[in-house]
Structure 1
């Protein structure tokens, strides 16, 4: 049997083996090797991401488990996160009580919030509180408890007790994955529990989605896509994947395009998924 005659399950098993062996797969290379279209490979990767078997990035996929800490994530894809942050900040209503969840993109949103809207911002992330504390016109509430090193935030029992008194107008969730069938997901059990708790207590829920999290599912469910009021996607996010989110009832907004830096093609990524 030729490679092009592989059944769906066999093809995805081969892709999973390639991920284990090489730490990444490139959709164009797989399509050529297997004698199928790139659209077929992209569908395979979407299904595998929904099952938590891989983590999609521009042009291919990486293994499912994240390998970076919060501090390391802060330093990656800065221009793209800033574009998402500007789009998110523009949607915050004056006088709002906002909960800013953990995440490097949400740290960028904190820095983009205007000082003249009379905002109150609660967060479980010390780095976000530190970015806001000297901003005039923004009141800051820090949710306490032990800090989880992976998320950079307080997500345990003390944080849940602190959060019981909060009723935010807007919850800006940090996410590990967004899939039209699975919804919002997270890599950590306690992180997912805390995110779900805050989403349930908030009037509206918004998230900013980097391309690597789109059509991807992490192990722990947070909320279904129907509970998410709006998502902001990157300017070059996959059209079909965004359309599938819209079809599931999600209001979608795109951030402005990011101007490529010298010697960098738009959307180009290195083998670990960060910008080349």
Structure 2
């Protein structure tokens, strides 16, 4: 095996991408280096969003749980197209909740001006984006930040959100399907989202194509319970037909600018 750090790191990254967990001690023995060297490799890979550090090694990251920081720049124009469609239904003076998610971050960028909107969010990046707008009232739901989710979904955050009466929530979803409804990869995140939906008069999910008719382990709600599911302009017709048969209300976004 090569003892070049970058070559070694690439081999470790390849195993993680293939869904394999890695153990630092075993890797150190295999590559003939110290465990400290392997730990440096794993720290670097975790910083790139390619693994999740655990005691003694690292675990692969499921596709939908790539850290929020790594998702922000992905498919930006498509997410903005979803967001521009979503804002059309927002009424003046509404109290909105923007759940964690890169598509909801895109929504924060295109909220209408001078609509006397109050925005609550549990997401760090969304709060920062809203803070730059002088015409928006901001409420931040705090707690311990979950790096992959990109926001706070712990017990403190859950307690804070239960005090709100929300007009319209934009809920993040890791997967959406006719049979599985909308679902999440993290159980704590899913519990937070279920509570959020129960407190909201209207619920909206903006869904990019790769999430349609996929499943995640933690169910949030049935597809028919979401007030609007906004999909991309080129969403596969067969997948949309399944969702409509399950009772989902589908809104199709305009093509990206």
Instruction: State how far apart, in whole Å, the 2-side matches of 1:164 and 1:186 are.
Output: 20
Q: What is the number of residues matched between the two proteins?
A: 202
Q: 2:225 — aligned with what?
A: 227
Match of 1:202 among 195, 200, 203: 200
Instruction: State how far apart, in whole Å, the 2-side matches of 1:164 and 1:180 are.
Output: 28
Q: Given the alignment of the two structures, is residue 134 of structure 1 paired with residue 132 of structure 2, yes or no?
A: yes
- Inter-CA distance 64–70: structure 2 relative to 1 (3 Å threshold): closer
TM-score, normalized by length of structure 1?
0.70
Q: 1:156 — aligned with what?
A: 154
Q: Given the alignment of the two structures, is residue 167 of structure 1 paired with residue 156 of structure 2, yes or no?
A: no
| Runs of at least 5 residues in structure 1 that lack an aligned partner in the other structure | 1-19, 24-62, 260-276
Higher-Rg structure is 2
More displaced stretch, 189-198 vs 249-258: 249-258
Match of 2:79 among 71, 81, 86: 81
Q: 2:62 — aligned with what?
A: 65
Given that 1:115 and 1:136 are in contact with CA atoms closer than 8 Å, whether structure 2 keeps it comes out as no
Match of 2:236 among 235, 238, 242: 238
Give, in angstroms, the shift of residue 65 of structure 1. Answer: 2.1
Given that 1:70 and 1:151 are in contact with CA atoms closer than 8 Å, whether structure 2 keeps it comes out as yes
Task: Give secondary structure in 1 for the equivalent of 2:169.
Answer: strand
Given that 1:100 and 1:121 are in contact with CA atoms closer than 8 Å, whether structure 2 keeps it comes out as yes
Instruction: State how far apart, in whole Å, the 2-side matches of 1:230 and 1:64 are.
Output: 29
Task: Give secondary structure in 2 for the equivalent of 1:181.
Answer: coil
Instruction: State how far apart, in whole Å, the 1-side matches of 2:92 and 2:243 are.
Output: 28
Give, in angstroms, the shift of residue 245 of structure 1. Answer: 1.2
Q: Deviations for 1:108-152, whole angstroms, at most 9, x for unmatched residues? A: 011111122111110000110110112132111000001000011
- Please show how residues 91-110 of structure 1 align to structure 2 within 5 Å: 91-110=89-108
Runs of 4+ in 1 over 3 A off after TM superposition: none
Q: 1:115 — aligned with what?
A: 113
Given that 2:224 and 2:249 are in contact with CA atoms closer than 8 Å, whether structure 1 keeps it comes out as no
- Structure number with the bigger relative contact order (C-alpha 8 A, sep ≥ 6) is 1
